[in-house]
Amino acid sequence: MQIRLWPYIFLGTATGGVAAILATLEEPFWIIFASVLVLVIVFALLQEAMRDPVEEGDVVVVEPAKTMPTGFGRAMLEQLPLPLLVISRRGRVVYANRAAKEVLPTLKFGDHFANLLRIPAFVDAVNAAISEGKNSKVSFTMTRPQERYYEANIGLMPAGSDFGDKVQAIVQIEDRTQDRRVEKMRSDFVANASHELRTPLASILGYIETLQGHAKDDPAAREEFLEIMDKQATRMQRLVNDLMSLSRIELNEHIKPSDPCALNELVLETTSALLPLQKKYDVTLETALEGDPVVAANRDQLNQVLVNLIDNAMKYGGSGTTVKVFTTPPDPHYADMVGITVADQGAGIGPEHLHRLTERFYRVNAAQSRNKGGTGLGLAIVKHIVNRHGGELQIESTLGEGSQFTVWLPSS
């Protein structure tokens, strides 16, 4: 065990100094002795209160070679997919398997567990297990680097185990992020779908009722109503497809893609596929790419980001304008990232709307968006895909001059 000498040097200097001062003042010997004794007692009490090393016997990790008994038991715990912690009765972490170190990258043996997880309910549950032998289950959230949901099962390990001869707490942590996302996905889908589908569904039912009534023998009205019904049904189909797509993306948003992707190659493939839309929207689509950046990405999802952004730019850019897709110059605010910008020459977006553009179903002009076939989910899908890739979406716009949407992605 490492011994720090400076406190004892300080104690010797202090007691010697006090004794010398009292002797100079010709104080009686018993006063000198009592003063030195008080200093020694105060020093001892302070040492005990501030003692930070792990109690002997609590931890078998004081010597690295004795972190745990070797053999099948150790190998099994190390390979266990669930994070596992063993905490001494003084609150020090004496063992953590590989999964626990991944969840708590700053973990060090001998640290107090409350410094790793500053969550009152968790701290209280561990203390209750150590002091009262209570088993408990605690749910908590960690927000860095991404929001994750966990559930900890906390119990008491009796004295005499392979971890030491004293009572200790054992903590098993389960990642519930996937379960929470599935639950949220279901509730959000029901709420959003019921809200957004109500209007087109009511419109279709209204026209069906009309066609069954006085318009059933009117060919002109029937043709007009069927065209409107087809448009509304198509809108409903787009809504359902976008909602399902968004739900799937959110479900795996915490899992970062790792496959290498040549970014410029993907951009060229996407723009080539969208060239036929130039005639439909009466716009010109141009590309200006530089270098050969490679990013870690889900190729299909990144293609979806580019399609949404370019399609929006062509749709809202205005007749006779140019949509440009180009490599973004390096920006110190986005260090070690590569950017692709989609710029239009449309009417622009007011600054009061910019921070809300990626919200679900938020539209600057709801009527215009619906008339052009928008679902209000495109930029929300873009945001979640970019988040999954560890990137950022930068939006800039000037009224009367157009908008620029830049996707920044970590460079591989």
pLDDT band at 409; cut points 50, 70, 90: very high
Distance CA 138, CA 410 (A): 35
Smallest CA-to-CA distance from 138 within 167, 108, 171 is with 171
**324 and 405 Cβ atoms separated by less than 8 Å:** no
Distance CA 332, CA 179 (A): 38
Residues 6+ apart with CB under 8 A from 153: 135, 136, 137, 171, 172, 173, 174
pLDDT band at 3; cut points 50, 70, 90: very low
pLDDT band at 116; cut points 50, 70, 90: confident
pLDDT, one tens digit per residue, over 233-271 is 888 888 888 878 887 888 788 788 989 999 999 999 999
In the sheet with 93-96, reading across from the earlier edge strand, the strands are 93-96, 84-87, 168-175, 148-157, 136-142
Tell me which of 1.10.287.130, 1.10.3720.10, 2.130.10.10, 1.10.287.70 is the CATH number of domain 177-254.
1.10.287.130
Structure tokens at 335: 């260090």
Could you identify the residue written with the tokens 């190390």?
A: 78
Distance CA 124, CA 310 (A): 52
Distance CA 290, CA 263 (A): 10
Smallest CA-to-CA distance from 400 within 344, 348, 343 is with 348
Mean pLDDT, to the nearest integer, of 341-367?
Answer: 86
Q: Which helix (H) or strand (E) holds 7?
A: helix 6-24
Distance CA 54, CA 358 (A): 50
At 303, give phi and psi (nearest 5°).
-60, -40
Integer-rounded Cα radius of gyration of the chain:
33
Distance CA 44, CA 50 (A): 10
- Classified by CATH at the fold level, domain 64-175 comes out as Beta-Lactamase (3.30.450)
Provide the residue ranges of all domains of the chain, joining segments of one domain with +. 6-50, 64-175, 177-254, 256-412
Could you identify the residue written with the tokens 């530089």?
A: 290
Tell me the three state secondary structure of residue 226: helix
Which amino acid, residue 149? Answer: Y
Residue 339, beta-bridge partner list: 328, 408
Read out DSSP for 232-265?
A: HHHHHHHHHHHHHHHHHHHHTTTS----EEEHHH
% of the chain at pLDDT higher than 70: 83
User: Other C-beta atoms within 10 Å of 164: how many?
Assistant: 22
Mean pLDDT, to the nearest integer, of 57-72?
Answer: 44
**307 and 274 Cβ atoms separated by less than 8 Å:** yes
Residue 347 has what DSSP assignment? S
**184 and 360 Cβ atoms separated by less than 8 Å:** no
Lowest-confidence pick of 161-175, 221-235, 260-274, 328-342? 161-175
pLDDT, one tens digit per residue, over 9-55 is 776 777 777 777 777 777 777 777 777 777 777 766 666 555 543 44
Check residue 57 and give left, alpha or beta (phi > 0: left; psi -120 to 50: alpha). left
First CA to last CA distance, the chain: 45
Q: Specify the pTM.
A: 0.54
Read out DSSP for 345-412?
A: -SS---HHHHTTTTSTT--SSHHHHHHTT--S-HHHHHHHHHHHTT-EEEEEEETTTEEEEEEEEEB-
| Per-residue model confidence (pLDDT) at position 395 | 95
| Percent helix / strand / coil, the chain, rounded to 5 | 50, 20, 30
C-alpha 301 chain-centroid distance: 18
Tell me the three state secondary structure of residue 19: helix
- Whether the pLDDT of residue 92 is over 60: the answer is yes
Q: Which helix (H) or strand (E) holds 172?
A: strand 168-175
Distance CA 186, CA 184 (A): 5
User: Other C-beta atoms within 10 Å of 351: how many?
Assistant: 10
Q: Which CATH superfamily is domain 256-412 in?
A: Histidine kinase-like ATPase, C-terminal domain (3.30.565.10)
